[in-house]
Amino acid sequence: MRRVAVGAMVAALFAAPAFASVSDIDTDGEILASFAEMVVIYSDLTEETFAEIDTSGDSFLDEAELAAAVEAGVLTADQ
């Protein structure tokens, strides 16, 4: 029974959509994601949506801002 539960958990993890983290997006080592870096992963992202996600207003996304956008459904894996 334990093997079945573990197998189901592993299958669920692989079935979930994969979202990029800031470290996956950041190309210049700032540990922040700029609009230009985000558009590479999320090609449909607009500057307006980026500004909405950028709650600190610093023109960059940190891990918390990115996670909040994914959780709120603003960013999706198929974007």
Instruction: Output the tens digit of pLDDT for each of the chain's 79 residues.
Output: 566 444 444 443 333 345 678 888 888 988 999 999 999 999 999 999 999 999 999 999 999 999 999 999 999 866 6
Q: What is the pTM of this model?
A: 0.70
66 and 75 Cβ atoms separated by less than 8 Å: yes
Query: Among candidates 34, 56, 55, which has minimal Cα distance to 45?
Result: 34
Distance of CA 14 to the CA centre of its chain: 16
13 and 25 Cβ atoms separated by less than 8 Å: no
What structural domains does the chain harbor?
Answer: 18-79 (1.10.238)
53 and 65 Cβ atoms separated by less than 8 Å: yes
The 3-state DSSP class for residue 33 equals strand
